Amino acid sequence: MIETKPMLPGSIRRGGVGFVVGPVLLAGSLVGAATPAAASHGAQANFILAAVPPLAEAESGGEPTPQPRTTGPIAKRTIGYSVQGRKLVARLYGSPAATKVGVVIGSMHGTERGGIPVAKRIEALGAPAGTALWVIRNLNPDGSRINQRGNARKVDLNRNGTHIWAAKARAPVYYPGPSAASEPETRAYISFLESVKPDVVLIYHQHGNGVDSYRQKNAGLTKGLAKRMKLPVKPFNCDGECTGTLTGWFNTTQAGAALTIELTASVNTKKVNRWAKAARWSVGYVPDVNR
Ligand SMILES: [Zn+2]
């Protein structure tokens, strides 16, 4: 696996997965890079799986369950650093030549870590054929470490974005920070998503129990994902209007579709497997808008 440096403003990039993948990297991936060490930070809450058992225990019936990959990611990029200096890491699976690109973000609120095992399960399954899939397990490692929603400065990263950022906070839990994109975690996701230009971005939260239809960009994606996840479609409108959210920023400035997913409070192996398969489906389903 190759560790790439954070993208600098104005650095060269290409279509598809967002950076040049050369033959050396490909050769490296073929020798079977080890599965990356678990990147979770700090203690896991009771409702979080410490480890996801093998797929043999997955539910049966329905679509065939993809077999787990035996190799690790084909690339690994540090997309930035948290306030306390922890690496924010994106791992790439699938075809480096693919123009159909998905991004999955396991967690951005430190008290909502149920998407992290889903992200890891997606990593174990890899990307659907002909696609590229980036997985960010955790955008808020500082908050996760101390079971805090916000980052180390108690900023809600899903209110700190640049899309209709609002200083007026329903504080303290939704504190949006001193200014739009004031936090390094926010700047990291912005530069990363601008560079890889995904067709779809899925962001997991808890525990609203639904797939978000609030200002959705692709209704078929919302509906299809909800069906496959066995979650209802719900409009999560932040009690009025959502300000400074990742989804709002992405859907108004980028070509692809971002979707907020509110998982259930309890997470188990069966759900993790179902949700991971649904996420892989979404990458195949969405149109290739950045060809
Ligand atoms: Zn959340």
In sequence order, which residues have a C-beta less than 8 Å from that of residue 262 and are 6 or more positions away?
Answer: 205, 206, 207, 208, 209, 210, 211, 212, 231, 234, 236
91 assigned to some structural domain:
yes
165 assigned to some structural domain:
yes
- Of 111 and 240, more confident: 111
CA of 205 to the centre of ligand 1 (A): 4
Split at pLDDT 50, 70, 90, the class of 40 is very low
- Of 243 and 172, more confident: 243
CA of 213 to the centre of ligand 1 (A): 15
52 assigned to some structural domain:
no
What pLDDT score was predicted for residue 32? 33
CA of 10 to the centre of ligand 1 (A): 31
Percent of the chain with pLDDT over 90: 68
Most distant pair of Cα atoms in the chain: their distance: 52
CA of 16 to the centre of ligand 1 (A): 29
Q: Does the pLDDT at position 158 exceed 80?
A: yes
Q: Does the pLDDT at position 283 exceed 50?
A: yes
Cβ–Cβ under 8 Å, residues 78 and 3: yes
290 assigned to some structural domain:
no
CA of 238 to the centre of ligand 1 (A): 11
What pLDDT score was predicted for residue 171? 67
Instruction: Find the domain containing 11 and state its range.
Output: 3-35+58-285
Cβ–Cβ under 8 Å, residues 286 and 200: yes
Percent of the chain with pLDDT over 70: 75
Q: Does the pLDDT at position 151 exceed 90?
A: yes
Q: Does the pLDDT at position 55 exceed 70?
A: no
Mean pLDDT, residues 209-220 taken together? 93
What pLDDT score was predicted for residue 41? 32
pLDDT digits (tens, 9 = 90+) for 74-91: 999 999 999 999 999 999
The verdict on whether omega for the bond into residue 172 sits within 30 degrees of 0, i.e. cis, is: yes
CA of 110 to the centre of ligand 1 (A): 8
CATH number of residue 209's parent domain: 3.40.630.10
133 assigned to some structural domain:
yes
Q: Does the pLDDT at position 147 exceed 50?
A: yes
208 assigned to some structural domain:
yes
What pLDDT score was predicted for residue 43? 32
Cβ–Cβ under 8 Å, residues 173 and 156: yes
CA of 236 to the centre of ligand 1 (A): 11
CA of 57 to the centre of ligand 1 (A): 29
CA of 113 to the centre of ligand 1 (A): 9
CA of 20 to the centre of ligand 1 (A): 33
In Å, how far are 12, 29, 132 from 26, measured between CA atoms?
Answer: 20, 5, 14
CA of 257 to the centre of ligand 1 (A): 18
What pLDDT score was predicted for residue 18? 42
pLDDT digits (tens, 9 = 90+) for 262-274: 999 999 999 999 9
The neighbourhood of ligand 1, an ion, using CB within 5 A, equals 109, 112, 205
41 assigned to some structural domain:
no
This prediction has a pTM of: 0.79
CA of 115 to the centre of ligand 1 (A): 10
Q: Does the pLDDT at position 8 exceed 90?
A: no
Candidates 103, 101, 88; CA nearest to 5 is 88
What pLDDT score was predicted for residue 239? 81
47 assigned to some structural domain:
no
Q: Does the pLDDT at position 20 exceed 90?
A: no
Total domains in the chain come to 1
CA of 59 to the centre of ligand 1 (A): 27
Mean pLDDT, residues 18-24 taken together? 37
